[in-house]
């Protein structure tokens, strides 16, 4: 799953190029950097690898989402529709630009349910932000139809699905803008980093300035740049970009291993008729960072999770329903509007209303879902062994449940 598993001489070489000159910043110092521009090089590689016209690196995936939203003009009073199952960064970014996150149900794709999205649209809605969780994507055709009908912006949070495709295009390059994260546990890593991708030149120019204090990057040197708008510092460093450059060249290899390992695991679990799998939308190809599977009931799933824990093989099998980072049921800090500083009443009131809302459709999906992380380092016999152990536990739990029920 994460690129850090394949750290090696390639990464060391790229980082060393930067250490030789000591120019750790991505802008300026044209003479002393001796032609070393790792961030620019990585942006070009991202455009070539994923098939987008423009790429703006950032210091994190969260910063990439914030940057994309600001550049798309999403701000105070605007509503952004997003799923109940994601990583906390998705709503953090919405709040950071002064907008309001509107959480809606997911379905068995583990991403936004287009019907729930439709039902959540108000006159304030500006943006739909699907989050392509755990290697696979939302039903983008359906979401794009809704965006066209209601004149909304589509921002893809593709942080977890680097390399997945939809109708032949890489996810993250299909909406008005899309983002990847290159944090330490993502498919490819920079240590920390992220990117905004788009085919829209003026949007890209805004992202470029926003991540660097509003600099227009048009002067003869940084001191001569103008500032057409207010920005922040969300820059990536040359050291981080250097790591990413080595990693992106290994992406095809990572994806190939993930697909092979996922398919072995899926074959083993498919032999159990009670197990079903995460739905992939028509035209979609999973990046296979996880295998996400469902059991018939919440009770059976919880028992299987307990048994996996008892057998010492829970690590790498994620039960998101009970997870503090990924599912709305545990986001108390969001529902309490626990901010360090003062915020508008509109945002705090909206968030506090979340505490009174329930999401039974999402609960029905998430309470039965286990995602098994696919490691790059597994040998074929290790995948087989893992799969067989999981399958044995599931069969035991199922047979006991059947006896009780019978
Ligand atoms: C990792 C992640 C992010 C943000 O990434 P960071 O680089 O850690 O800030 C955003 N959204 C999702 C779904 C993620 O998994």
DSSP designation for 159? T
Show the domain range for 56: 3-251
Beta strand 153-157 pairing with 177-181: parallel
Strands 125-128 and 79-83, bridge-based pairing: parallel
Work out which ligand 1 atom sits closest to the CA atom of 160: 15
Residues in Cβ contact with 338 at an 8 Å cutoff, skipping those fewer than 6 apart? 332
Q: Kindly give, in sequence order, each residue whose CB lies less than 8 Å from that of residue 360, ignoring residues fewer than 6 positions away.
A: none
Separation of 300 CA from ligand 1 center, angstroms?
Answer: 30
Same domain for 299 and 165: no
Query: Residue 299 CB: number of other CB atoms within 10 A?
Result: 13
One domain, residues 88 and 160: yes
Q: How far does residue 18's CA lie from ligand 1's centre (Å)? A: 26
CATH number at residue 323: 3.90.1150.10
186 is catalytic: yes
* CA distances from residue 167 to 55, 111, 125, 301 in whole angstroms, order as listed: 21, 17, 27, 33
Last residue of a domain, one of 225, 251, 277: 251
Contact yes or no for 62/56 (Cβ under 8 A): no
The residue to mutate among 129, 157, 172, having the most atoms of ligand 1 within 8 angstroms of its beta carbon, is 157
Which ligand 1 atom is at minimum distance from the Cα of 65? 10
C-alpha–C-alpha distance, residues 210 and 208, integer Å: 6
Residues 261 and 237 in one domain: no
Residues 323 and 218 in one domain: no
Cα–Cα distance for residue pair 6/249, rounded to 1 Å: 12
* Claim: this prediction has a pTM higher than 0.85: yes
List the one residue out of 18, 47, 56 whose CA is nearest residue 243: 18
Among 251, 272, 302, the domain boundary falls at: 251
Q: What is the CATH number of the domain that holds 214?
A: 3.40.640.10
Output the CA 194–ligand 1 centroid distance in Å.
8
Q: Give the span between the Cα atoms of 220 and 191, in whole angstroms.
A: 32
Q: How many Cβ atoms are within 10 Å of 20's Cβ, its own excluded? A: 10
Which atom of ligand 1 is nearest the CA belonging to 181? 7
CB neighbour burial string for 219-230, b if at least 16 within 10 angstroms, e if fewer:
eeeeeebeeeee
Residue with the smallest CA separation from ligand 1 atom 7 is 61
344 and 276 share one domain? yes
Q: Enumerate the β-bridge partners of residue 127.
A: 80, 153
pLDDT at 324: 78
C-alpha separations of 13 from 8, 10, 31, 142 in Å: 9, 5, 21, 44
| Mean per-residue pLDDT pooled into runs of 10, the chain (406 residues) | 90 98 96 97 98 98 98 97 97 97 98 98 98 98 98 98 98 98 97 98 98 95 93 98 98 97 97 98 98 98 96 93 89 95 94 94 98 94 96 96 66
Cα→Cα distances 203→100, 152, 177, 186, 316, Å: 21, 15, 8, 25, 38
Among 44, 48, 45, 80, which Cα is nearest to 65's? 80
Shared domain for 212 and 122, answered yes or no, is yes
Pair 271, 210 in one domain: no
Contact 214, 234 (CB under 8 A): no
Length of the chain: 406
- CA of 14: how far to CAs of 41, 185, 244, 334, in Å? 11, 20, 9, 40
Smallest CA-to-CA distance from 197 within 177, 181, 170 is with 177
How far away, in angstroms, is 90 Cα from ligand 1 center?
A: 7
Ligand 1 centre and the CA of 183: distance in Å? 7
Considering 13, 34, 124, 186, which one is annotated as catalytic?
186
Measured in degrees and rounded to the nearest 5, phi and psi for residue 326 equal: -115, -15
Residue 344 to residue 274: CA distance in whole angstroms: 48
* Ligand 1: lining residues by beta carbon, under 6 Å: 60-62, 86-87, 89-90, 131, 157, 159-160, 181, 183, 194
Q: Pick from 94, 183, 185, 328 the residue to mutate for probing ligand 1's pocket: most ligand atoms within 8 Å of its CB.
A: 183
Query: Considering 226, 251, 276, which residue would you say is the last residue of a domain?
Result: 251
Q: Is the domain of 274 the same as that of 359?
A: yes
Contact assessment for residue 159 and residue 87, using Cβ atoms and an 8 Å cutoff: yes
Could you tell me the CA-to-CA distances from 390 to 10, 264, 275 in Å, in that order? 35, 13, 12
What is the count of structural domains for the chain?
2
Nearest-angstrom CA–CA distance, 245 and 10 = 9
CA of 89 to the centre of ligand 1 (A): 6
The pick from 4, 69, 90, 130 for probing ligand 1's pocket by mutation, whose C-beta has the most ligand atoms within 8 angstroms, reads 90
Shared domain check, 274 and 190: no
Q: What is the reported pLDDT for 2?
A: 86
Distances (CA, A) of 149 to 177, 258, 287: 18, 37, 30
Same domain membership, residue 25 and residue 136: yes
- Do 212 and 28 form a contact (C-beta atoms < 8 A)? no
């Amino acid at each position: 799953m994460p690129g850090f598993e394949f750290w090696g001489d390639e990464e060391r070489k790229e980082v060393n190029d930067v250490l030789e000159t000591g120019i750790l910043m991505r802008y300026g110092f044209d003479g002393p950097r001796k032609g070393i521009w790792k961030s620019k090089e990585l942006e070009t590689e991202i455009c070539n690898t994923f098939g987008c016209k423009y790429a703006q690196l950032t210091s994190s995936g969260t910063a990439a989402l914030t940057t994309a939203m600001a550049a798309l003009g999403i701000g105070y009073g605007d509503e952004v529709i997003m799923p109940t199952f994601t990583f906390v960064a998705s709503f953090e970014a919405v709040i950071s630009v002064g907008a309001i996150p509107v959480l809606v149900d997911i379905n068995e794709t583990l991403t936004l349910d287009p019907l729930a999205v439709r039902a959540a649209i108000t006159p304030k809605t500006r943006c739909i932000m699907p989050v392509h969780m755990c290697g696979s994507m939302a039903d983008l055709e359906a979401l794009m139809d809704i965006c066209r009908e209601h004149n909304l912006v589509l921002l893809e949070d593709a942080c977890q699905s680097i390399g997945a495709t939809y109708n032949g295009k890489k996810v993250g390059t299909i909406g008005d803008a899309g983002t990847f994260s290159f944090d330490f546990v993502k498919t490819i890593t920079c240590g920390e980093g992220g990117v905004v991708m788009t085919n829209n030149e003026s949007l890209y120019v805004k992202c470029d300035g926003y991540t660097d204090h509003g600099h227009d990057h048009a002067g003869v040197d940084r001191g001569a740049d103008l500032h057409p708008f207010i920005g922040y510092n969300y820059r990536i460093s040359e050291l981080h970009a250097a790591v990413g450059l080595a990693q992106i060249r290994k992406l095809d290899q990572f994806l190939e291993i993930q697909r092979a390992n996922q398919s072995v695991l899926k074959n083993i679990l498919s032999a159990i008729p009670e197990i079903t799998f995460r739905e992939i939308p028509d035209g979609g190809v999973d990046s296979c960072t996880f295998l996400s599977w469902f059991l018939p009931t919440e009770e059976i799933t919880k028992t299987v999770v307990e048994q996996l824990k008892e057998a010492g093989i829970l690590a790498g099998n994620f039960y998101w329903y009970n997870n503090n980072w990924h599912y709305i049921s545990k986001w108390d800090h969001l529902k309490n509007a626990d901010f360090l500083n003062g915020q508008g009443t509109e945002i705090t009131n909206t968030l506090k209303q979340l505490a009174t809302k329930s999401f039974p459709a999402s609960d029905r999906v998430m309470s039965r879902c286990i995602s098994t992380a696919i490691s790059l380092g597994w040998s074929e016999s290790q995948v087989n062994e893992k799969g067989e152990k999981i399958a044995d536990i599931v069969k035991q739990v199922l047979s006991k449940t059947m006896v009780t029920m019978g």
